[in-house]
Amino acid sequence: MSRECSQLLPRVCAALADPRQPGSDDTCLEKLLDWLRDLTELEPTLNVVQDNPCLTEFFTSVLALPEPSPSILSFTLRLAGLLAASEDCFQHLQQENLLFRLFGTGGTLNRAVWEDASVRSGWVEGVHSMMHHQPALHFLCNGGGLDVIFTLQGDPSLFVASAASQLLVHMLTLSVESEPTTPVGEKDCDWPACAQMIIKHIEDSLQSGSASHINQSLKLLTSLFGSCRATWTEVLWLRIAKQVESFLTEDSVQTRHMLADLLLNMSRSPVFCDTEGSFWALVTSALEHLTPVQAGPLAVGILSLHKCPQDVRIQAMTVLLQPMDCILRAASQPLEYAGLLDESVSDPSTVESLLSSKSSCASLLCQTLAHLEKLLSLIHLPVDLPYTALLRSFVTILQFCSGLLIPATSLGNKISQILIGCSRVQKSALDALAALSERKGCDTVIGSLFDILLVYLESPNTSPTVLKKSFQAMSKWLARLPEMSCFNNQWQTEKILQDVFLVLQKRLCSPCWEVRDSSLEFLTSLIKSMRDQDEFRESLLSSEVPKLTENLLEDPESYVRASAVTAVGHLTFITSSLPETPVAGNQYNKEDTTAKLQDILSTDPESFPRRAVISIFTKWLKQGCTDQVEDTAQFVSRAIRTVERDLDWEVRIGGLELVEVFCVQTLCRAGLPKYPSAAASSSVTSSIQQNESLQIFCRAKLFKFLFWSLCDYDKPVGQKACDILLVLRASLSPSGLLKDCQGAGDSSAGCGIPWLQRTLRQGSLAQDFPTDGGNGVDFEDPESMMLALGTIDLEELHDELNKSSDHIEKSPQSLLEDILATVGTIDENEADCY
Amino acid sequence: LICLSVGPGAGQDVGRSCILVSIAGKNVMLDCGMHMGYNDDRRFPDFSYITQNGRLTDFLDCVIISHFHLDHCGALPYFSEMVGYDGPIYMTHPTKAICPILLEDYRKITVDKKGETNFFTSQMIKDCMKKVVAVHLHQTVQVDEELEIKAYYAGHVLGAAMFQIKVGCESVVYTGDYNMTPDRHLGAAWIDKCRPDLLITESTYATTIRDSKRCRERDFLKKVHETVERGGKVLIPVFALGRAQELCILLETFWERMNLKAPIYFSTGLTEKANHYYKLFITWTNQKIRKTFVQRNMFEFKHIKAFDRAFADNPGPMVVFATPGMLHAGQSLQIFRKWAGNEKNMVIMPGYCVQGTVGHKILSGQRKLEMEGRQILEVKMQVEYMSFSAHADAKGIMQLIRQAEPRNVLLVHGEAKKMEFLKQKIEQEFHVSCYMPANGETTTIFTNPSIPVDISLGLLKRETAIGLLPDVKKPKLMHGTLIMKDNSFRLVSSEQALKELGLAEHQLRFTCRVHIQDPRKEHETVLRVYNHLKGVLKDYSVQHLPDGSITVESILIQATAHSEDQGTKVLLVSWTYQDEELGSYLTSLLKKGLPQSTS
Write out chain B residues lying below 8 Å of A647, CB-based.
268-269
Full strand arrangement of the beta sheet holding B433-435: B140-142, B147-153, B161-167, B170-174, B198-202, B408-412, B433-435
* Cβ contact, residue pair B131, A367, below 8 Å: no
Task: Tell me whether residue A720 is exposed, middle or buried, using C-beta atoms within 10 angstroms of its C-beta: 0 to 12, 13 to 18, 19 or more.
Answer: buried
Phi then psi for residue B44, to 5 deg, are: -105, 150
CA A616 to CA A601: how far, in whole Å?
A: 11
Residue A832 has pLDDT above 50, yes or no: no
Contacts of A807 in chain B (CB under 8 A): 372
Nearest CA in chain B to A822: B364
| CB contact A26 to B (< 8 Å) | yes
Of B130, B309, B371, the CB nearest to A768: B309
Give the C-alpha separation, B214 to A667, whole Å.
Answer: 65
In this structure, the number of other CB atoms found within 10 A of the CB of residue A182 comes to 8
- A352-362: pLDDT as tens digits: 889 988 889 99
Amino acid of residue B306: A
Instruction: Write the DSSP string, A336-386.
Output: HHHTTS-TTT--THHHHHHHTSHHHHHHHHHHHHHHHHHHHT-SS-SS---
Burial (CB count <10 Å: 0-12, 13-18, 19+), residue A635: buried
Whole-angstrom distance between the N-terminal and C-terminal Cα of chain A? Answer: 36
* A701 vs B89, higher pLDDT: B89
Flag whether residue B311 sits within 8 Å of chain A, measured between CB atoms.
no
Do A90 and A49 meet the contact criterion of CB atoms below 8 Å apart? Answer: no
Distance from CA of A828 to the nearest CA of B (A): 9
pLDDT for A402 beyond 90: yes
CB contact under 8 A, A713 and B330: yes
| Interatomic CA distance for residues A623 and A632, integer angstroms | 12
Return the number of other C-beta atoms located less than 10 Å from residue B254's C-beta.
Answer: 18
**Is the residue at B362 inside a domain?**
yes
CA distance A97 to A106: 12
The CATH number that applies at residue B128 is 3.60.15.10
Q: A490-507 vs A446-458: helix axis angle to the nearest 10?
A: 20
Q: What residues in A contact B373, CB-CB < 8 Å?
A: 763, 766, 800
pLDDT higher than threshold 60 for residue A336: no
- pLDDT (tens digit per residue) in A482-522: 777 666 667 788 889 999 999 999 999 999 999 999 999 99
A116 touches chain B (CB under 8 A): yes
Are B363 and A829 an interchain contact pair (Cβ–Cβ within 8 Å)?
yes
Nearest to A425 by CA among A396, A449, A447: A396
Nearest to A715 among B112, B369, B439 (CB): B112
Q: Cα–Cα distance between B469 and B456 in angstroms, integer?
A: 15
Query: CB A714 to CB B112 under 8 A?
Result: yes
Min Cα distance A478 → chain B (Å) is 22
Amino acid identity at A469 = K
Tell whether the model's pLDDT for residue A825 goes beyond 70.
no
Kindly state whether A827 is in contact with chain B, defined as any CB-CB distance less than 8 angstroms. no
Give the confidence band of A474 by pLDDT, cuts at 50, 70, 90.
Answer: very high
Q: Which of B230, B260, B247 is nearest to B342 (CA)?
A: B230
* CB within 8 Å of chain A, chain B residues 161-190: 177
Asked if the C-beta of A367 comes within 8 angstroms of chain B's C-beta atoms, the answer is yes
Domain presence at residue B597: no
The matching CATH number, chosen from 1.25.40, 1.10.287, 3.40.50, 2.40.128, for A1-143 is 1.25.40
Beta bridge partners of B92: B135
Kindly state the DSSP code that residue B87 receives in the 8-state scheme: S
Q: Lowest-confidence range among A394-398, A404-408, B493-497?
A: A404-408
Q: Coil, helix or strand for A530?
A: helix
Return the pLDDT at A510: 95
Q: Do B440 and A158 touch (CB under 8 A)?
A: yes
The residues with which B545 forms a beta bridge, in sequence order, are none
pLDDT at residue number A744: 44
Confidence of residue A778 (pLDDT cuts 50, 70, 90): confident
Q: How many domains does chain B have?
A: 4
Residue ending a domain, among B445, B463, B483, is B445
Residue B27 sits in the same domain as residue B116: yes
Please tell me which residue in B81, B170, B202, B463 is annotated as part of the active site.
B202
Of B358, B385, B412, the position where a domain reaches its end is: B385
Higher pLDDT, A833 or A368: A368
- The partner residue sitting opposite B375, judged by closest CB among A26, A370, A763, is A763
B343 and B232 within one domain: yes
Q: What percent of chain A has pLDDT over 70?
A: 85
Average pLDDT for residues A209-232, to the nearest whole number?
92
Q: What is the pLDDT along chain B (599 residues), one digit of tens a residue?
A: 455 554 444 334 445 788 999 998 899 999 999 888 887 888 888 888 888 777 899 999 999 999 998 889 999 999 999 999 999 999 999 999 989 988 988 888 787 666 566 789 999 999 999 999 999 999 999 999 899 999 999 988 889 999 999 998 899 999 998 988 887 778 899 999 999 999 999 887 777 666 666 778 888 999 999 999 999 999 999 876 777 877 888 898 899 899 999 999 987 655 567 777 877 888 888 777 777 766 666 667 788 888 887 788 889 999 999 888 888 777 888 899 889 999 999 999 887 787 778 888 898 888 888 776 567 889 999 999 887 777 888 889 999 999 999 999 999 877 777 888 899 999 999 999 999 888 888 888 988 777 788 888 888 888 777 766 667 777 777 788 999 877 788 999 888 899 888 888 888 888 999 988 888 888 888 888 999 998 888 888 899 988 889 999 889 998 888 778 878 889 999 998 878 888 889 999 898 888 875 44
Kindly state whether B13 is in contact with chain A, defined as any CB-CB distance less than 8 angstroms. Answer: yes
How many alpha carbons lie under 13 Å from residue A787 in its C-beta half-sphere?
25
Would you say residue B599 lies in a domain? Answer: no
B598 falls within a domain: no
- Please state the φ and ψ torsions of residue A385, each to the nearest 5 degrees: -100, 150
- Best of B52, B66, B419 to mutate (most A CBs within 10 Å, chain A): B52
Q: What is the per-residue pLDDT for B9?
A: 43
Give the H or E element holding residue B114: helix B93-114
> CB of B354 within 8 A of CB of A30?
no
Task: Give the amino acid at B296.
Answer: R
Question: Between these two residues, B375 and A542, which has the higher pLDDT value?
Answer: A542
pLDDT tens for A643-699 read 988 888 899 999 999 999 999 988 888 777 655 544 444 555 567 777 888 888 988
CB contact A415 to B (< 8 Å): no
CB contact under 8 A, B10 and A156: no
d(Cα A831, Cα A621) in Å, to the nearest integer?
Answer: 52
Using CA atoms, how far residue A47 sits from A83, A792, A816, in Å, is: 11, 44, 20
Quick check: B5 and A810 CB within 8 A? no
Residue of A nearest to B109 (CA): A714
Contact, A49 vs A13, CB < 8 A? Answer: no
pLDDT at A819 exceeding the cut of 70: yes
Q: Which of A49, A713, A730 minimizes the C-alpha distance to B267?
A: A713
Q: Give contacts of A 32-71 with B, CB under 8 A.
A: 70-71
Residue B273 lies in a domain: yes
Q: Can you name the residues that pair with B369 across neighbouring β-strands?
A: B377
Question: In this predicted structure, what is the pLDDT of residue A181?
Answer: 61
Task: Decide if pLDDT at A579 tops 70.
Answer: no
Reported in sequence order, the residue ranges of B107-197 that DSSP labels E, i.e. its strands, are 132-135, 140-142, 147-153, 161-167, 170-174
Instruction: Report the alpha-carbon distance of residue A54 to residue A393 in Å, rounded.
Output: 69
Residue A384 contacts B where some CB pair is shorter than 8 Å? no
* Residue B432 and residue B532 in one domain: no
B35-69 b/e (C-beta count within 10 Å ≥ 16 → b): bbbbbeebbbbbbebbebbbbbbbbbbbbbbbbbb
pLDDT at B41: 81
Each domain of chain A, given as residue ranges in start order, spans 1-143, 158-288, 291-430, 443-577, 589-732
Residue A172 has pLDDT above 90, yes or no: yes
A261–B contact, CB cutoff 8 A:
yes
Among residues 380-409 of chain B, which lie with CB inside 8 Å of chain A?
Answer: 385, 387, 389
CB contact under 8 A, B329 and A805: yes
Hey, are the CB atoms on B355 and A766 less than 8 Å from each other?
Answer: no
Are residue B279 and residue B326 in the same domain, yes or no? yes
Query: Any chain A CB within 8 A of the CB of B71?
Result: yes
Contacts (Cβ under 8 Å, ≥6 apart) of B11 = A26, A71, A118, B439
**Distance between B319 CA and the closest CA of chain A, angstroms:** 20
N-to-C CA span, chain B: 63
The pLDDT of residue A626 = 64
Shared-domain flag, residues B93 and B167? yes
Looking at the structure, do residues B21 and B51 belong to the same domain, yes or no?
yes
As to burial, measured by CB atoms within 10 angstroms (0-12 exposed, 13-18 middle, 19+ buried), residue B316 is exposed
- Helix A782-791 with A702-710: angle, nearest 10 deg: 30
Under the banding of pLDDT at 50, 70 and 90, the label for residue A831 is very low
List C-alpha distances in Å: A223 to A156, A304, A461, B216. Answer: 20, 19, 45, 54
CATH code of B566's domain? 3.30.310
Q: Which fold has domain A443-577?
A: Leucine-rich Repeat Variant (1.25.10)
Contact A338, A325 (CB under 8 A): yes
CB atoms B373 and A800 under 8 Å:
yes
Last residue of a domain, one of B415, B445, B475: B445
Threshold 0.90, pTM exceeds: no
Helix (H, G, I), strand (E, B) or coil at A577: coil
Q: Is the pLDDT of residue A414 over 70?
A: yes
User: Residue B145's Cα: distance from chain center in Å?
Assistant: 19
Q: Which of residues 113-132 of B touch A (CB under 8 A)?
A: 113-115, 122, 126, 129-131
- Judge contact between B572 and B503, C-beta under 8 A: no
Residues B255/B248, Cβ–Cβ less than 8 Å: no
Q: Is B202 one of the catalytic residues?
A: yes
Query: Which domain covers residue B482, as residue numbers?
Result: 453-501
The CATH number linked to B243 is 3.40.50.10890
CA distance A403 to chain B (A): 18
d(Cα B454, Cα B213) in Å, to the nearest integer?
54
Interior/surface letters A134-153, b for 16+ CB within 10 angstroms, e for the rest: eebbebbbebebbebbbebb
Distance between CA B552 and CA B586 in Å, rounded? Answer: 9
